[in-house]
Structures are given as C-alpha cells and as structure tokens.
Amino acid sequence: MMKAVLLGSVSSKPTTENFTSCMLVQNEAKVYLFDACEGVQMRIMQSGISFMKIDSIFLSHFHADHILGIPGLIATMELSERQSPLNIFGPKGIKQRVSEILNLMNIGHSFKINYKDLSEGKVFENEKVEIYAKKFIHRILNYGFIMKEKDKVGEFNRKKAEKLLPPGPLYKQLQDGKTVTYNGKKIKPEMVMDYNKGRIGKKIGYIVDTYDKGYEKFIGNADILFHESCFMKEEEKRAKQTKHSVMEDVIKISKKAKVKKLVLFNYSNRYLEDLEKTKKKIKSKDIVFGNDLDCFELK
C-alpha cells in the first residue's frame, strides 16, 4: 500500500493554517519527500510518519518556498542520530546550494548525504519504485516528478516454500517465475506464490510552479496527480508573467491524460478567500482541493 500526504498547500508564503507546497509518499518502509517547505519537519511529525524513514528528497526548483525546510530537517535528523544515508535530488548545483546553506547555519551531519543533479528521464530506482523527472517551464529550472510503484506479480509464501525446500537461492528463482528442481522433485512457482496477492503498481505525479502545457504523456493514466493551481482563469495574465498554472488548464490537461484523481494545491494567497466559491463550481469527485495533511491511500 502506498500513502501520499500533502504537507503544505499554498504558494509563496505560509498562512496561519497552511504551509507552502510539498508532499511525501510512503511506500512500505521508505518515505520519499517532494520539496521541503519551511517547517516541513513539523508537518511530517503531524502526519504520523517518521521523518527518519525519508530515503530520498526530490526538490523541484530553488525557489525558497520549496526548499526552506531542508536545513531544519537535516539538523533534526542529526540530533536524532540518523545513521543511514540520505539522497537529495535537485536541479543542477544541488550539492553546492545545500552545502552552503548547511555551512552558513553550522549544521553538521554524521550521516552521508548523496547529492544528485536531476536530468530528464528515470532518476531513481530501487526494488519497489521508479521515479522519473521532466523539465517544466518556470522562471528558473524546474522539474516535475512521476513516481511509479513496480508491479507485483504475487506474494511469495514462505511457509508453503519451507515445506518443499530449504531457504536458499532457489527461492529467488521461484519468485522470478522459474520452475526449480530440489532432490529430484520439480517445484513450480504456483506452488509457493500467492498470485491472487499481486497488484499493478500505482503512479503518482507531483508538478508545481509551471505555465507549461502539453505534458499529457508524462502524467498519462496517473492514479493521483498533485498539481499546482496557483491562479484562476481571470488571472491568466499574471499566471503567464509568473509562470504558474491556471486551474482550468490543469483540469483540462489531466482529463486528457486520463488522470484518475487530481489534487489541486499551491494556491495563490490572492484567491484563498474565493476558494470556497471555486470549489462549488467543480462537480467532479475526482478533483480534490488539497489541504495541508490531506492523506491519500493507494490500495
């Protein structure tokens, strides 16, 4: 099961209720953070998920409202005696940027930080998930992300297997769908695999701060897409100037891309007061106006 939590939902500056935009995904024992708003560590604690489980952080771009939480988070990880390495992905120059901020604030860390400059395409892969990045038009270099959970053909039933053969490399072959021979006896994968427990991996998108259009392929068939919705159509001119999205365009693009659930967020403070009125105009239950700490389970 995957879980995505919107940690902050407004653009540029926080309010008394809302933090600026960022989101995390928990996939089994690992957590992946997309952007790090000011005070992100507090929001993560409130979500009930351990910030120590963060495996990798993906920063879309170097505007302050998306990265201010980094030094505080790393300082707290160090105080909490983190041992495991942390990956930080960001636009070109990420290592220098973050190192300078940490030096300036005298934040040391005894755990290793692996910095990686982003490029387009697959940027991360482990045994459970793959993450893809794509450049999105903004005032500065900016990336959007797709996280794809790997398909699971079924679940290996250890109890059943142990009755047939002892643990060893043959287990892996059975999990890979190969028939093996033990003590002259043929053992087929279906004898140890619960294929009814298989599942198609889920696809989650995270896109902020862009006036881009025509990226349906990148977000195609996403199970859930977190997409900024900074402005309304009436403020199209300002959206163009500041390179932000217009809600109506985002809805159109995600419909075309057959996104199953669209979570709008990153609202401009300028129209927060009108948000309730706007919500009433949108009838689809597959379009959600995200709020801080909204949690979405992907079963």
151 is catalytic: no
Q: Which residue is nearest to Zn ion (CB)?
A: 63
Taking CB under 5 A as the binding criterion, the range among 59-67, 104-112, 197-205, 288-296 that sits at the site for Zn ion is: 59-67
Measured from the CB atom, is 93 or 108 closer to Zn ion?
A: 93
Question: Which string of DSSP letters, residue by residue, matches 35-100?
Answer: ---TTHHHHHHHHT--GGGEEEEE-----GGGTTTHHHHHHHHHHTT--S-EEEEESTTHHHHHHH
Taking CB under 5 A as the binding criterion, the range among 25-33, 50-58, 208-216, 256-264 that sits at the site for Zn ion is: 208-216
Measured from the CB atom, is 55 or 209 closer to Zn ion?
A: 209
Q: Is 235 in the site for Zn ion (CB under 5 A)?
A: no
Token output for 43: 């929001």
Measured from the CB atom, is 13 or 122 closer to Zn ion?
A: 13
Q: Is 212 in the site for Zn ion (CB under 5 A)?
A: no
Q: Is 244 in the site for Zn ion (CB under 5 A)?
A: no
| Among candidate residues 73, 18, 5, 66, the one with its CA nearest the CA of residue 42 | 73
Q: Is 63 in the site for Zn ion (CB under 5 A)?
A: yes
Measured from the CB atom, is 20 or 254 closer to Zn ion?
A: 20
Q: Is 209 in the site for Zn ion (CB under 5 A)?
A: yes
Measured from the CB atom, is 78 or 236 closer to Zn ion?
A: 236
Query: What is the number of H-type helices and E-type strands within the chain?
Result: 9, 18
CA distance 34 to 169: 37
Measured from the CB atom, is 63 or 82 closer to Zn ion?
A: 63
Q: Assess contact for 72 and 39: CB atoms under 8 A.
A: yes
- Sheet of 86-90: strands edge to edge? 113-117, 86-90, 54-58, 30-34, 22-27, 2-8, 295-298
Token output for 279: 């919500």
CA distance 62 to 192: 49
Rounded least distance, CB 283 to Zn ion, Å: 30
Taking CB under 5 A as the binding criterion, the range among 61-69, 119-127, 150-158, 182-190 that sits at the site for Zn ion is: 61-69
Rounded least distance, CB 211 to Zn ion, Å: 11
CA distance 145 to 120: 10
Catalytic residue among 65, 209, 223, 292: 65
CB neighbours of 232 closer than 8 A, spacing ≥ 6?
A: 246, 247, 248, 271, 274, 278
Helix (H) or strand (E) holding 170: helix 169-175
Alpha-carbon distances of 72 from 52, 68, 106, 111, 182, rounded to whole Å: 13, 8, 11, 15, 54
Rounded least distance, CB 257 to Zn ion, Å: 22
How many positions of this chain bind Zn ion (CB under 5 A)? 2
Taking CB under 5 A as the binding criterion, the range among 18-26, 58-66, 213-221, 231-239 that sits at the site for Zn ion is: 58-66
Binding residues (CB under 5 A) for Zn ion: these are: 63, 209
* Residues marked as catalytic: 65
